[in-house]
Amino acid sequence: MEKRKQIYEGKAKKVYETDNKDFLIQEFKDDATAFDATKRGTIIGKGVVNNKVSAELFELLESKGVETHFVKLLSDRDMLIKRLDIFLIEVTIRNIVAGGMAKLLGLEEGIVLKEPVLEYHYKKDKLHDPLINEYHIKALGLATDDELRIARERSFEINNILKDFFKKRSIDLVDFKLEFGRHKDKVLLGDEISPDTCRLWEHGTKKKLDKDRFRRDLGGIEEAYQEILKRVVG
């Protein structure tokens, strides 16, 4: 399937229509932004890594019965996906305290949580994606009861599958962000699963192998993304 009109350009991806209205192509860019695009840069090769890593993880999830928007890889930077009506919600799952949770609750990064924490954030860059709860989501009509239940249950399932997958590769899955959407009355996982959207720490050394290297100016960014590609795709 070929790219037709570009319908969206985000911080890290472009999305194109195809000749079939139910399918889109998402193209992964090397552009990196953080803190609601107040920090900008380029991570060479990031688009290729995120495309291939996402494809591998979507295939893994599909093989375990978790439905996603992924159809197939088209090239180094492009994947064919099902068109979703994306919910204006981000679902975050946390296994270890870091980032937003450390800041919000005044906790040290690295505390292993007794059980996974699920958070919802309202997708609104101008407000820095504020934390919301199920009442906000229902009251604002961002998703129905059923859709929310499915997204919540799938998110915990995805966590179990990914935690196990990364553990076998000597990586601790600290936290990650998911986006879900509607496709023909089904709730599917969308967006991407990559070092841009997950915190991935090398087991033992706790070396950060994700976008925090960019956010926090830690250097070795390209190498970290390549390391994840190597460990995920082999």
- Judged by the rule CB under 6 A, the positions of this chain that interact with ligand 5GP are 90, 92, 98-101, 129, 175-177, 196-199, 211
Q: Which tokens belong to 174?
A: 């600290």
Rounded to the nearest whole angstrom, what is the least distance from the CB of residue 175 to ligand 5GP in the complex?
4
Rounded to the nearest whole angstrom, what is the least distance from the CB of residue 148 to ligand 5GP in the complex?
18
Return the number of the residue (18 or 214) whose C-beta is nearest ligand 5GP: 214
- Residue in 119, 182, 196, 207 with CA at minimum distance from that of residue 155: 119
Q: Is 157 helix (H, G, I), strand (E, B) or coil?
A: helix
Return the number of the residue (147 or 212) whose C-beta is nearest ligand 5GP: 212
CA dihedral 37, 42, 44, 50 (to 10 degrees): 10
Return the number of the residue (107 or 139) whose C-beta is nearest ligand 5GP: 107
Return all residues near 103 (Cβ < 8 A) that are at least 6 apart: none
Return the number of the residue (78 or 90) whose C-beta is nearest ligand 5GP: 90
Rounded to the nearest whole angstrom, what is the least distance from the CB of residue 205 to ligand 5GP in the complex?
18
30 contacts 40 by C-beta, under 8 angstroms: no
Q: Which tokens belong to 212?
A: 């925090």
Rounded to the nearest whole angstrom, what is the least distance from the CB of residue 2 to ligand 5GP in the complex?
28
